[in-house]
Each structure stands twice: as structure tokens, then as C-alpha cells.
Amino acid sequence: MAVHGIQFTKIEIQITSYLFKHYNDKYNARQLARILKINHAHANKLCHLLVLKKLLKKEEMVSSIFFSFDYGNTLALKFMEYILSMESLQTPKHLAVVLHALKKFNPSIELGLIFGSSIKSNAFNDVDVLLVYENKNAKKVRVIKDEIRKSQLIEQPIRYVEITEKDIYLNKEERVFYNILTENLLFYNAEKYVEVIRRCHK
């Protein structure tokens, strides 16, 4: 992939996406290598390259260098909007039917995420879904939930977490909620997700 002549590898995008989503944390190259299952030396090299490409920031602490996403860079945020919108089109096969059904919510919600075990394995007992919408759309959302349930296209039950955008900022430091916002599959509105993560970082 090229943006104004700058090349990005698949692993660079993995690193950038991971650091972007984890807005409360900084990681050194060794930690990222372990989490993303890549070579430590290669991870270190790529992190420094991503700093030069103005997607990451680095900070020296004690005897290690830690990296975080550059939330102050508008172009870096636009890059993440693009990457996440493309990611949402790459549907895992075992979630294809689920994602197709969840798209019914799109006009009525501001943001939609799948989280939990279903995004990590095809052996899951339920589907955890975060819906972010304004209270005025509650009736519409309820009708769509009933439609999805009655269609019986999804074998596993869907467990919804329904909140407003304001609720996100009130709970952004809570560990369980932080895990929902960082470990997920986006199915609606990359632009809003990027805005939410940026504001959570502040």
C-alpha cells in the first residue's frame, strides 16, 4: 500500500492498528513482537520506521524505548480511518452471516463493534456486540434486534451492550470496557471509531 509514495507493509499496519486501538498503553518493540508474534529485531526496525513515517511517537524510559500512536497527527488519524474501513470489509468466514445481519443497524447507530470470543475463534457460544446510538433511536434499534432474532439466521445468541457516545467517555478507564474498545472487529463507521479512540486518549 502506498500513501503519497510512502510504502506500508502488512506488519507495519498491524503494529500501527494495535497501538492506535490501545490508547492507554505504550509498548516497547519486544512487547509488540510477543503480542503480534513477530521477530523482535524486525519489530524494532519497523517501529522506528513508523516514527519516521509520522504514525508513531517514541519515548525513552529508563533503558527502553516505548512507542505509541501519534494521535496529534491529522494525517495519521485519516490513515487509520482508511485502514479500519478496509479491515471491516475483510469478513472472517465464520462471522459472515452475523456481520450481514448486523448491517441492518447501520442507519440507526453511530458505531458498531463485535468483541469477545467470536472474533478470535470459530468455536464460540455467543456473539458480543457493542451498539453506540442516541436515545432517540432506541425504538428503531429494538425493532432491528427483533428482526434479527426472528430471522433465526444466527444460531448463537447475540448479547448486546448498548450505550451512548457519552457513556464511552465516562467508562473509558474501566478495564472491561477498555478491552471492548481495543479488542474488537469494527462493523460500522470507521470515522466515528477513530474519533472515539482519539478522544479517549486525551
169-178 long-range contacts, Cβ below 8 Å, gap at least 24? 169/199, 169/200, 172/200, 173/24, 178/24
- If asked whether residues 146 and 195 sit together in one domain, one would say yes
- If asked whether residues 138 and 189 sit together in one domain, one would say yes
What is the count of structural domains for the chain? 2
Confidence grade of residue 98 (pLDDT, cut at 50, 70, 90):
very high
The whole-model pTM stands at 0.91
| Cα–Cα dist 93/73, whole Å | 34
- Has residue 78 been placed in a domain? no
Q: Which domain holds residue 36?
A: 2-69
Q: What is the CATH number of the domain that holds 56?
A: 1.10.10.10
Q: What is the CATH number of the domain that holds 179?
A: 3.30.460.10
Residue keyed to cell 477498555: 178
- If asked whether residues 64 and 99 sit together in one domain, one would say no
Give the model confidence (pLDDT) of 144-163 as tens digits.
Answer: 999 999 999 888 999 999 99
- Has residue 157 been placed in a domain? yes
Strand duo 127-132 + 111-115: pairing? antiparallel
